[in-house]
Structure 1
C-alpha cells in the first residue's frame, strides 16, 4: 500500500507575529486530547507546568509565555507547550554521530501522519530542526555548529519531567558545545527513557536518559532503541534494535557519511510495514559545522536546508511503492 506525507519547510523568525503559532494553535484541541491528561488541563495544572518550566528551562520562559498568550490561555495549553506531565509516545529510530562531524539519523514513525515540518527559527538564536510537539524538535542544529537527535530508549517507564522534544529545543537554543549540552541533559528531568546524540565541531556523544536512571554515556555515539539495561527478549526481537545498532556501527566504520546514509536508506535500518503503515519517515544528514542538513528518502530527490540558504516550501513524499 502506497502512503504519502507532505513535508513543509517554514521560516518563523522570533514567532512574535503569530504566523507560526496560528496553524499550530488550531490543532490544540486535538493535541490536548492526544497528549495531556484531563487532570493536567486545569489552571492549577498549567500553573504547575509553567513553574516547572521556569525552574529548569528559564531562558525559554519568555517564548513559552508568548506562545501561550497567542493561544489566548486555553486550559491545558501551558502544560502542552511546556511538555510537562504528557502521555509520551514510544517508537523506534536509529542514529550515529561523529563521522566527519556529522549527525545521521532515521526517524521511524506512523506513516499515516499527514505531514511533517522543518522549522527555521530565531527564538533565542538561529536553529533549524524537525518539529515535534508543536514547537519541540526531533532533531536539529544551531548556528554554533551543535546538532542533536533523539531515539526512544526502549523501556516503557514514565515519571515526572519533560517531554524530550522541548528539551532538544532548549539545548539548541542555549548551548554551543557537547559539554554544555551534556550539562543540560544531566540536570533537566526527562519523563521517559530516551537516547540523545549530540555532535559539535570536536566530539560526539550519546547519552541514555530516563526518569529512573542517572544520565549514562553510551560506549559510542550510536543509538537505536535500547540503553545499557537489558530489554525483554520479545521486544528486542520485534524492534530489531540490537541488529540495527550493529548495522549502523558497521556502516560508521567506513568513515564515509555518504556510505552511512546509503545504509540508513536500506533494510534493516530503513523500515516499511505495508500492513501497519509504520516505517522510516525520513533520513536526516546533519553537517552542523557547515550549518546544513539534507533530508533523504529512497529513490526520491533529497532536500537540503541550511542557515545560508533555507528553502521554504513543500515536498510530497511517497512510501511503499518506492521503498520496496
Structure 2
C-alpha cells in the first residue's frame, strides 16, 4: 500500500492510514508538491506535522480532535470504548453547513478483511469474504451543534 501511495498523484494533502493483517501500520502523508511521507502515527486529523492553515484547523477542531483521540487511545483497551468515544464531540463533528462534519467512523478488521461503518445508532458491516451489496441513506442534522446525533434511514 505504501509503495502504491508513493506513486499516486494527488490534488491536495491527505493523511492515509494503512494496516496489514500482521498489525503493521503507518500513516502516509501525501501532498501534491512533495513525495509521500510515511510516519509511525496511529492518529491523524485535518493537519499533518503541524497546522499550516490556522483558520481551517480551528474550523475543523483539528488540534482538539487529535488530542481527544490520543487520550482515548491511551486510556482505552477495548475497541468498543474507542468507537463510542468517536461518536461524541470533539471527535464527532456536526459542522455540516461548513462542510466539516463527521460522515462515519470506520473500524477496519484486517484479520478477517472486514470493515464496520459506524454512525450513532447504526453499524454497517461489510466483509471481503461475504460482501453484501446495499445502500445506506444517512440524514445528518444539518450542522445543529446542539443535536449531534445523526438520524439514518436504511434503504432496501
TM normalised by structure 1 equals 0.40
Q: Give 2:89's match in structure 1, choosing from 262, 267, 274.
A: 267
CA deviations on 1:249-279 (whole Å, 9 max, x unpaired) are 2222223221111111111111113655752
Using the alignment, how far apart are the partners of 2:15 and 2:85 within structure 1?
21
* Offset at residue 318 of structure 1 (A): 3.3
Unaligned runs of 5+ in 1: 1-180
Instruction: Please give the root-mean-square deviation of Cα atoms over the aligned residues, in Å.
Output: 2.3
| SS in structure 1 at match of 2:48 | coil
| SS in structure 2 at match of 1:214 | strand
TM normalised by structure 2 equals 0.77
Would you identify which runs of 4 or more consecutive aligned residues in structure 1 move more than 6 Å? none
Structure showing greater relative contact order (alpha-carbon pairs closer than 8 Å, 6 or more residues apart): 1
| SS in structure 2 at match of 1:284 | strand
Distance 1:217 1:311, change over 3 A: same
Unaligned runs of 5+ in 2: 142-146, 151-156
* Richer in helix (by share): 1
Structure 1 counterpart of 2:113: 291
Distance 1:182 1:282, change over 3 A: same
* Offset at residue 214 of structure 1 (A): 2.6
Structure 2 counterpart of 1:195: 15
Q: Give 2:124's match in structure 1, choosing from 285, 288, 303.
A: 303
Using the alignment, how far apart are the partners of 1:313 and 1:290 within structure 2?
20
8 A contact 1:261–1:283 mirrored in 2: yes
8 A contact 1:218–1:228 mirrored in 2: no
Aligned residues: 143
User: Counterparts of 1:39-58 in structure 2 under 5 Å?
Assistant: none
Distance 1:275 1:194, change over 3 A: closer
CA deviations on 1:28-63 (whole Å, 9 max, x unpaired) are xxxxxxxxxxxxxxxxxxxxxxxxxxxxxxxxxxxx
Distance 1:218 1:242, change over 3 A: farther
Question: Is 1:257–2:83 an aligned residue pair?
Answer: no
User: Counterparts of 1:214-233 in structure 2 under 5 Å?
Assistant: 214-233=35-54
User: Counterparts of 1:143-222 in structure 2 under 5 Å?
Assistant: 181-202=1-22, 203-222=24-43
Structure of larger gyration radius: 1
8 A contact 1:194–1:210 mirrored in 2: yes
User: Counterparts of 1:55-74 in structure 2 under 5 Å?
Assistant: none
User: Counterparts of 1:18-57 in structure 2 under 5 Å?
Assistant: none
